[in-house]
């Protein structure tokens, strides 16, 4: 049965790898010049050219391996039962394609019918001029966006975003009872629980998500929020998940400095299958046919240092991800670190609630968190009291209590200095001195 699963996967993966290239080549030919369709598909075609479908490992092969060091660039295809055996041993740092799952799948038609037609939907329109800032999503009324999505004569792909739901997507069975993956929820347990996902703050919203895209939609290479682990379940359609597993944060930083990506791993995700993508994996999904996927982003309690390191990297280089910064991360990290500290003070024989990182990493975690909390606490547009402006540094995503800072003057200034506000600051200092007299 295992060999049959691997053989069938290899056959399908090669078939849909070729289909993905054919779809993107077709979009290249029929799309208008300077559109995002033309620009983005050209980038992905180049990346596919240096990628190759690989024979996956079986669950038995990895379970019979003494150490998993060195397996990060491999991937596994297995059943739900065998995936559970892998996670029983430890959290894998390699991708796993699991299926077919026994759960009921949804449909694109049913999902679209469930969307409130009067609600607003954010989506990427690949037909827009690539010279403009088209990576900022377009917003339309749902009824209009759905008409565009269902238009069979449309050339340029659409990629729907922000399709939030009223409750979390269910986890696959091999992850469901593992409390170490519920650390984010536990850190928020003392707060008022949300009544619906629609009213929740951003981290609650983004850790459970839907992906709906039309033929030829692509994502440029990126990592997910804060480098978190991701599980995606394919409800309907066909997706090729191009990824570069095992790069690590150092490898991703080299890529951001201009080192070209080579040797990508294209993983075909059939309907009814779920893909486990380990933390910090650079990826660029490709939609072969209209496709609906549901997913979760997960943090394992033992990966706290990793997540904080990826969060620091995301603040210093926002383009490392294609998603907005999760501002709830401030309060959640504080709660998790406090819990870890409390449990680390318990006697050794006491049972811990969660599996934590090695104790010697605690100081490093606290150091990054202290840096995370060092941004200014401004609540208005004025920069008179801004610590960042006083220190002649530019505001970033650590600032303003994690609130959206669309009106922050120091965030928008081109140079990372407070020079624009020197007059304001000097006037305030002068005013303060006159009062002291």
Would you say 250 and 148 are in contact if contact means Cβ atoms under 8 Å apart?
no
pLDDT digits (tens, 9 = 90+) for 3-25: 888 999 999 999 999 999 999 99
pLDDT at residue 164 greater than cutoff 70: no
Helix (H, G, I), strand (E, B) or coil at 242: strand
CA distance 28 to 64: 45
pLDDT at residue 147 greater than cutoff 80: yes
pLDDT at residue 363 greater than cutoff 50: yes
The answer to whether residues 149 and 62 belong to one domain is: yes
Would you say 90 and 82 are in contact if contact means Cβ atoms under 8 Å apart?
no
Give the range among 37-51, 267-281, 291-305, 324-338 with minimum mean pLDDT.
324-338
The answer to whether residues 165 and 284 belong to one domain is: yes
CA distance 380 to 143: 36
CA distance 277 to 67: 20
The answer to whether residues 54 and 154 belong to one domain is: yes
CA distance 343 to 337: 10
Beta partners for residue 231, in sequence order: 276, 296
Residue 307 located in a structural domain: no
Domain boundary among 301, 322, 346: 301
pLDDT at residue 191 greater than cutoff 70: no
Residue 242 located in a structural domain: yes
CA distance 304 to 369: 11
Q: What's the predicted TM-score (pTM) here?
A: 0.89
Residue 183 located in a structural domain: yes
What separation in angstroms does the CA of 205 have from each of 175, 192, 274, 295? 20, 15, 20, 12
Burial class (CB in 10 A: 0-12, 13-18, 19+), 375: buried
Domain assignment of residue 54, given as a range? 2-301
Domain boundary among 286, 301, 316: 301
The answer to whether residues 209 and 64 belong to one domain is: yes
Q: What's the whole-number mean pLDDT along residues 26-35?
A: 95
Q: What's the whole-number mean pLDDT along residues 130-152?
A: 86
pLDDT digits (tens, 9 = 90+) for 395-435: 888 886 545 455 677 766 655 444 444 444 444 444 444 44
Q: What is the pLDDT of residue 134?
A: 55
Confidence of residue 188 (pLDDT cuts 50, 70, 90): low
What separation in angstroms does the CA of 266 have from each of 83, 140, 238, 280, 387? 20, 33, 13, 17, 46
Residue 40: its H or E element? helix 36-49
Q: What is the pLDDT of residue 200?
A: 37
Tell me which range, 189-203, 297-311, 326-340, is most confidently predicted by mean pLDDT: 297-311
Residue 249 located in a structural domain: yes
The answer to whether residues 98 and 222 belong to one domain is: yes
Phi, psi of 384 (to 5 degrees): -60, -40
* Residue in 325, 356, 326 with CA at minimum distance from that of residue 338: 356
Q: What is the pLDDT of residue 408?
A: 72
CA distance 249 to 368: 15
Confidence of residue 296 (pLDDT cuts 50, 70, 90): very high
Averaged pLDDT of the chain: 86
The answer to whether residues 382 and 279 belong to one domain is: no
Residue 93 located in a structural domain: yes
CA distance 324 to 314: 10
Q: What percent of the chain lies above the pLDDT cut of 70?
A: 84
Confidence of residue 261 (pLDDT cuts 50, 70, 90): very high
The answer to whether residues 33 and 121 belong to one domain is: yes
CA distance 330 to 179: 22
In terms of DSSP H, where are the helices of 95-188? 108-114, 142-150, 173-176, 183-186
User: Any idea what the CATH number is for the domain that residue 274 is in?
Assistant: 2.60.120.650
Residue 198 located in a structural domain: yes
Give the range among 27-41, 160-174, 193-207 with minimum mean pLDDT.
193-207
Residue 212: its H or E element? strand 208-213
What separation in angstroms does the CA of 76 have from each of 11, 72, 238, 331? 15, 11, 19, 35
The answer to whether residues 190 and 69 belong to one domain is: yes
CA distance 405 to 407: 5
CA distance 309 to 357: 13
Residue 345 located in a structural domain: no
Length of the chain measured in residues: 437
Q: What's the whole-number mean pLDDT along residues 239-249?
A: 98
pLDDT at residue 197 greater than cutoff 60: no
Residues contacting 247, CB < 8 A, separation 6+ = 255, 280, 281, 282
Residue 151: its H or E element? none
Residue 243: its H or E element? strand 239-244
Domain boundary among 301, 334, 354: 301
What is the domain count for the chain?
2
Residue 150 located in a structural domain: yes
CA distance 167 to 338: 28
The answer to whether residues 139 and 280 belong to one domain is: yes
The answer to whether residues 254 and 146 belong to one domain is: yes
pLDDT digits (tens, 9 = 90+) for 38-63: 999 999 999 999 999 999 999 999 99
Q: What is the pLDDT of residue 435?
A: 41
């Amino acid at each position: 049965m295992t060999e049959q699963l691997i053989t069938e996967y290899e056959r399908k993966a090669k078939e849909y790898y070729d289909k993905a290239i054919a779809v993107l080549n077709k979009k290249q030919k029929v799309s208008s010049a300077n559109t995002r369709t033309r620009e983005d598909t050209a980038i992905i075609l180049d990346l596919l050219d240096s990628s190759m479908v690989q024979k996956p490992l079986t669950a038995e092969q990895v379970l019979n391996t003494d150490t998993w060091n060195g397996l990060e660039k491999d991937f596994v295809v297995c059943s739900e039962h065998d995936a559970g055996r892998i996670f029983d041993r430890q959290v894998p740092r390699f991708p796993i394609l699991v299926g077919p799952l026994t759960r009921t799948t949804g449909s694109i038609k049913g999902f679209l019918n469930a969307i409130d037609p009067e609600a607003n939907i954010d989506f990427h329109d690949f037909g827009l001029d690539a010279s403009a800032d088209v990576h900022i999503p377009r917003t339309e009324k749902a009824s209009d966006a759905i008409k565009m999505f269902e238009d069979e004569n449309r050339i340029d792909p659409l990629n729907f975003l922000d399709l939030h739901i009223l409750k979390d997507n269910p986890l696959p069975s091999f992850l469901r009872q593992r409390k170490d993956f519920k650390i984010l929820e536990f850190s928020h347990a003392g707060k008022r629980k949300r009544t619906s996902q629609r009213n929740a703050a951003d981290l609650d919203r983004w850790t459970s998500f839907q992906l709906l895209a039309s033929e030829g939609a692509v994502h440029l290479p990126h990592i997910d929020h804060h480098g978190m682990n991701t599980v995606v379940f394919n409800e309907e359609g066909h997706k090729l998940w191009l990824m570069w597993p095992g790069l690590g944060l150092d490898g991703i930083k080299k890529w951001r400095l201009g080192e070209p990506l080579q040797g990508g791993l294209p993983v075909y995700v059939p309907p009814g299958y779920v893909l486990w993508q380990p933390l910090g994996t650079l990826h660029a999904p490709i939609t072969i046919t209209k496709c609906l996927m549901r997913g979760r982003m997960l943090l394992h309690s033992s990966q706290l240092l990793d997540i904080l390191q990826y969060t620091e990297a995301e603040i210093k280089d926002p383009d490392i991800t294609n998603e907005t910064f999760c501002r709830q991360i401030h309060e959640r990290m504080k709660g998790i670190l406090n819990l870890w500290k409390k449990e680390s003070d318990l006697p050794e024989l006491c049972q811990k609630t969660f599996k934590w990182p090695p104790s010697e990493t605690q100081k490093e975690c606290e150091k990054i968190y202290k840096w995370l909390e060092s941004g200014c606490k401004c609540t208005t547009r004025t920069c008179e009291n801004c610590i960042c402006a006083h220190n002649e540094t530019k505001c970033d995503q650590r600032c303003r209590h994690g609130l959206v800072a669309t009106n922050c003057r120091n965030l928008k200034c081109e140079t990372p200095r407070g020079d624009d506000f020197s007059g304001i600051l000097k006037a305030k200092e002068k005013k303060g001195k006159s009062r002291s007299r």
